[in-house]
């Protein structure tokens, strides 16, 4: 990264896992790092100081949602994402492409871009690589993403490979247009590797994308149906084609085991709504396994939600109280449970960083693999 | 109040307004005081330290809701309201009677008590004065309330006066039973004045209730339809009949002007869901009047929601951001707006206390009367 204010250094390696540091104009991020998702410029019910307290270093905001409401001009007028939200640390924005294809009534994808019907007001909208860059420049994130053509996995049997190839090729042409459109010197731009479930296509996409000179690279279109082992192979294969000195970002995956798989393969950045979404639904990550805190057996349980956890929720509240709040749908319950899951996830990445630096990442991963996603007790 | 750990002193008077101090086993409350409502043991989405930061001294919990879920035995097992919720300051609980008559399918009210169908599980439930006391003793509040028969205002034209008289008489008999049933020495018990819209009935109810020797007295059945002037008369008339040295509590009223009216008449305690409910709906109390923050004109407004306010929301966030969060239904919006309205309300009572002590309460009331409930600008 040669932009002023940006740098990325790999500081330690353990096999293909790596620990490093991403410098941005709004602060430094120790990697591998997990980015909590602030869809509308806020992490559901949680204020910036609490995110910092839980160990968050960098947040992700959804370009599409903020473009719809309040509009990037309003965000820009209120100081960009940093001033608008009060989170003064680094921000990453997605391109909006994933939301356009998953949430809206998709009308057409052609070489120019994507035409869709807004779920907010029912009107026709058009998103092109150039517009995605322009919106993100107005939002003022530290890291912007190119618009990609994202396809579901597994591909249909008929023409699946051809469609995946066409989408990867188009993503590459859009990547070139995005680079030409990008003007903000204080914002990094990351390319996205596509290619569906084909290792060959993804390698080719990575090689070509890397050749364009992005500040970092992301794995696109994963976590949409392929199994965990296959995903690990697709990620690992692509890393041979990407420059070592640029950050690698695995988009949208955030289960604890996914994070450990990603770190093992050399991923530096993650984002996912899972910690907060699971929290709202009463599914807690703990060091003893998954806890469904709404279960009636926790009704009068005075112990902390996760006895091994040092988060505000676990230090101040009992399982019985948290269970009650979620049971009666009191907003404080979703907030406390989300905060715990975020703290757990952020702490997991912190431990991964420490383990990579100490050359014992594999041991950590083996130790945790057995418990993280099985029910506690 | 002769209970150990309790005391109430009037420390200053200004006309019929008064400022004082209520001592409880869990701390001291400067009066007049506003009690935020923690329906299910939490003030919608707001954590105890934030309530303390906004100036809250004492909270109210709804006996009926906590009886249904999680049940008073669970609350007791988790340390009573103080341990259960983490709010270690004083608590007041209502009797549950108002929720039973307003929320449930009321089956029968007779001399023994109230039979109703639970909206939670559809089963028949029975609430008597003795059970209302027992539930509140298990919850462990600092101040408990007697079960009263609460009737809507205005009374029906036919038999209205007779019905109001019968309800006031029954409330009095229930009050005696409540006193006999009450055993917890570390919990105060307040009687409730009834009598509908009749000054004569309310005076008689107050005189008889005061004669029973409660620790404090509440105005019941107000704020249910009578106009503001009439309510002030009904409150003032009753105060002649109540002992000066016991706290007076106006239940369920919390608009800024209602609070100032109440203080003027000599009320010491208030509770209301209005600050938080209005906050969730985007209606902000400010020193320039009411602000409908969801209005489109605030879309890119960088000023604080209330420039005269020192709350966390107003110090850290813009009108534009708060408007956006409420507009997209992001939970942080309801939380920030509720916190502002609570801070505003709590600060208003603090100013009222200072004004009473300085002998300028009337001036404060006149100064604020013109702006508090008119739209800003």
Position A231 in a domain: yes
Which of B148, B258, B268, B271 is catalytic? The answer is B271
Could you tell me if residue B85 is inside a domain? yes
Q: In which domain, by residue range, is B317 found? A: 275-377
* The two three-digit tokens of residue B232, written as one number: 């002030």
Q: Is B268 a catalytic site residue?
A: no
Is residue A73 one of the residues assigned to a domain?
Answer: yes
Q: Is there a contact between A334 and B334 if contact means CB atoms under 8 Å apart? A: no
The first and second tokens of residue A100, run together, are: 């356009």
Q: Which of A84, A299, A302 sits opposite B70 (nearest CB)?
A: A299
Q: Which of A41, A46, A334 sits opposite B324 (nearest CB)?
A: A41
Residues B13 and B155 in one domain: yes
Q: What percent of chain A has pLDDT over 70?
A: 99
- For residue B158, what pLDDT band results from cuts at 50, 70 and 90? confident
Give the torsion through C-alpha atoms of A53, A54, A55, A60, to 10 deg. Answer: -110
- Is B2 within the bounds of a domain? no
**Across the interface, do B324 and A46 touch by the CB < 8 Å criterion?**
no
For strands B143-145 and B289-292, give the pairing.
Answer: unpaired
In this complex, the residue of A47, A69, A332 whose CB is nearest that of residue B327 is A69
Mean pLDDT to the nearest integer, B40-52: 98
Q: What is the mean pLDDT of chain A?
A: 95
Residues shown for chain B: 377
B201 and B332 in one domain?
no
Cβ-defined contact of B46 to A332 (cutoff 8 Å): yes
Cβ A335–B334 below 8 Å, yes or no? no
Per-residue model confidence as pLDDT tens digits over B169-182 = 999 999 999 999 99
CATH of the domain at A126: 3.20.20.105
- Mutation site for A-interface testing, chosen from B71, B322, B328 by largest number of A Cβ within 10 Å: B328
Whether residues A150 and A295 fall in one domain = no
Domain membership of residue B1 (yes or no) is no
3-state SS string for chain A: CCCCCCEEEEEEEECCEEEEEEEECCEEEEECEEEEEECCCCECCECHHHHHHCCCCCEEECHHHHHHCCCHHHHHHCCHHHHHHCCCCCEEECCCHHHHHHHCEEEEECCCCEEEECCCCCCEEEECHHHHHHHHHHHCCCEEECCCCCCCCCCCCCCHHHHHHHHHHHHHHHHHHHHHHCCCCCCEEEEEECCCCCHHHHHHHHHHHHCCCCCEEEECCCCCCCCHHHHHHHHHHHHCCCCCCCCEEECCCCCHHHHHHHHHHCCCEEEECHHHHHHHCCEEEECCEEEECCCHHHCCCCCCCCCCCCCHHHHHCCHHHHHHHHHCCCHHHHHHHHHHHHHHHHHHHHHHHHHHHCCCHHHHHHHHHCCCCCECC
Q: Which of these three, A225, A240, A272, is where a domain ends?
A: A272
Cα–Cα dist A330/A265, whole Å: 40
Tokens standing for residue A303: 């112990």
Using a CB-CB cut-off of 8 Å, the residues of chain B touching A328 are 40, 65, 69
- Please state whether beta strands A27-31 and A33-38 pair in parallel, antiparallel, or not at all (unpaired): unpaired
Distance from the Cα of A340 to chain B's closest Cα (Å) equals 14
Q: Which of B270, B244, B239, B242 is nearest to B257 (CA)?
A: B270
- B84 shares its domain with B72: yes
Which residues of chain B make contact with A317, given a CB cutoff of 8 A? 86
Q: Which of A65-69, B159-163, B294-298 has the lowest mean pLDDT?
A: B159-163
Listing DSSP states for B130-143 in one string gives: HHHHHHHHHHT-SE
Nearest residue of chain B to residue A315 (CA atoms): B86
Position B160 scores a pLDDT of: 83
A147 and A285 in a single domain? The answer is no
* pLDDT reading at B143 higher than 80: yes
Same structural domain for residues B28 and B142? yes
**Confidence class for position B107, pLDDT limits 50, 70, 90:** confident
> Catalytic residue among A14, A268, A271, A306, which?
A271
State yes or no: is B94 an active-site residue: yes
Residue B104 has pLDDT above 80, yes or no: no
In a domain, A303, yes or no: yes
| Last residue in a domain, options B272, B289, B318 | B272
State the helix-helix crossing angle for A129-139 and A160-181, rounded to 10 degrees. Answer: 50
Last residue of a domain, one of A230, A257, A272: A272
CB pair distance less than 8 Å for B321 and A77 = no
Residue of A nearest to B49 (CA): A316
Q: Which helix (H) or strand (E) holds B108?
A: strand B105-109
For residue B288, is it within any domain?
yes
**Can you give the pLDDT at residue A134?**
98
Q: CB-CB: which of B45, B70, B85 is closest to A331?
A: B45
* ipTM value for the complex: 0.97
* Number of domains making up chain A: 2
**B331–A41 C-beta distance less than 8 A:** no
Residue A2 lies in a domain: no
Is a pLDDT exceeding 80 seen at residue B352?
yes
* pTM passes above 0.80: yes
The predicted model gives A169-191 an average pLDDT of 97
Among A296, A325, A293, CA closest to A306? A293
> Are B332 and A84 an interchain contact pair (Cβ–Cβ within 8 Å)?
no
Asked if A84 and B318 come within 8 Å (Cβ–Cβ), the reply is yes
For residue A73, list chain B residues with Cβ-Cβ distance below 8 A. 300
The per-residue b/e assignment along A90-122, b for 16 or more CB within 10 angstroms, e otherwise, is: bbbbbbbbbbbbebbeeeebeeebbbbebeeee
Angle between helices A228-239 and A256-265 (to 10 degrees): 30
Mark whether A152 and A250 lie in a shared domain.
yes
Same domain, yes or no: B184 and B333: no
Which residues of chain A have a Cβ shorter than 8 Å from any chain B Cβ?
39-48, 65, 69-71, 73-74, 77-79, 84-86, 299-300, 302, 316-318, 320-321, 323-325, 327-328, 330-336
Residue B79: phi and psi, rounded to 5, are 100, 20
A259, A141: one domain = yes
Each residue's pLDDT tens digit, B322-335: 999 999 999 999 99
Substitution target in A69, A74, A326 with the highest count of B β-carbons within 10 Å is A74
| A62, A94 contact by CB (below 8 A) | yes
Check whether residue A292 and residue A203 sit in a common domain: no
Q: What number is the average pLDDT over the span B206-232?
A: 94
| Domain shared by A176 and A237, yes or no | yes
- Catalytic site residue from B14, B94, B142, B268: B94
CA B89 → CA B6, B29, B318, distances in Å? 14, 9, 32
B194 and B335 in one domain?
Answer: no
């Amino acid at each position: 990264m040669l932009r002023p204010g940006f740098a990325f250094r790999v500081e330690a390696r353990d096999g293909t896992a790596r620990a490093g540091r991403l410098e941005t104009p709004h602060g430094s991020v120790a990697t591998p790092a997990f980015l909590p998702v602030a869809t509308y410029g806020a992490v559901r019910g949680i204020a910036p100081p609490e995110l910092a307290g839980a160990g968050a270093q960098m947040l992700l905001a959804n370009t599409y949602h903020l473009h719809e409401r309040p509009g990037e001009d309003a965000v820009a007028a209120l100081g960009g994402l940093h001033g608008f939200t009060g989170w003064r640390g680094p921000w990453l924005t997605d391109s909006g492409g994933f939301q356009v294809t998953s949430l809206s009534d998709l009308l057409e994808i052609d070489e120019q871009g994507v035409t869709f019907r807004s779920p907010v007001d029912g009107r026709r909208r058009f998103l092109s690589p150039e517009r995605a860059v322009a919106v993100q420049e107005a939002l003022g994130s530290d890291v912007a993403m190119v618009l990609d053509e994202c396809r579901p996995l597994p591909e249909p049997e008929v023409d699946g490979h051809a469609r995946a190839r066409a989408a990867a090729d188009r993503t590459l042409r859009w990547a070139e247009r995005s680079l030409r459109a990008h003007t903000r010197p204080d914002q990094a731009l990351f390319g996205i590797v596509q290619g569906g479930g084909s290792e060959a296509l993804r390698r080719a996409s990575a090689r070509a994308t890397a050749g364009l000179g992005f500040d970092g690279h992301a794995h696109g279109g994963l976590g949409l149906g392929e199994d965990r082992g296959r995903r690990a192979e697709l990620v690992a294969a692509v890393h041979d084609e990407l420059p070592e000195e640029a950050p690698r970002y695995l988009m949208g995956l955030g289960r604890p085991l996914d994070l450990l798989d990603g770190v093992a393969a050399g991923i530096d950045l993650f984002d996912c709504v899972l910690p907060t979404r699971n929290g709202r639904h009463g599914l807690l990550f703990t060091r003893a396994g998954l806890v469904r805190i709404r279960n009636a057996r926790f009704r009068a349980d005075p112990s902390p939600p996760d006895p091994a956890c040092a988060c505000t929720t676990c230090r101040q509240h009992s399982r019985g109280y948290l269970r009650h709040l979620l049971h009666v749908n009191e907003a404080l319950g979703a907030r406390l449970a989300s905060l715990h899951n975020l703290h757990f996830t952020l702490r997991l990445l912190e431990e991964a960083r420490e383990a990579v630096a100490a050359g014992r990442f594999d041991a950590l991963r083996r130790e945790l693999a057995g418990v993280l996603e099985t029910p506690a007790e």
